[in-house]
Amino acid sequence: MNYDANPVHVLYDNESLKHLVQVIVEHNDAISGTTFVNLCYQIKQQAIRDRALTDLENTVYTSEELAPEDQVRVSRMLWELIWEHKVYLLFGRSPLLGLSNGEDRFVKY
């Protein structure tokens, strides 16, 4: 068994990644939404289930972060979804978020 603490690279193409981002955002309610950090975590978890990570065989990923270039891709997908009026950025605090409180959230439009 190999352990990898490096940020995780996902193998989704841009269209698949954008669809996944939209599905994750739509899954959360309009009050709590999802933060960028949580969105990336959920993408990583889905990529594990889909076997869409590099070097998956016999590897346990200990990093919670997507690779920086994949974070940029997720950011671009979010902006595209914002421009398409499918997602909006929710500013402000939510009593439901606990430690994530104060982070801006993305919500289905």
Judge whether residue 99 has pLDDT over 80.
no
Nearest CA-CA partner of 70 in 2, 28, 9, 5: 9
d(CA 55, CA 21): 23
Give the model's confidence band at 94: pLDDT under 50 very low, under 70 low, under 90 confident, else very high: low
Domain boundaries, the chain: 2-108
d(CA 93, CA 60): 35
How large is the average pLDDT for residues 70-95?
Answer: 90
Mean pLDDT of the chain: 85
d(CA 20, CA 44): 11
Q: What is the pLDDT of residues 81-93, one digit of tens each?
A: 999 999 999 887 6
Report CA-CA distances (Å) from 75 to 45, 49, 72: 18, 22, 5
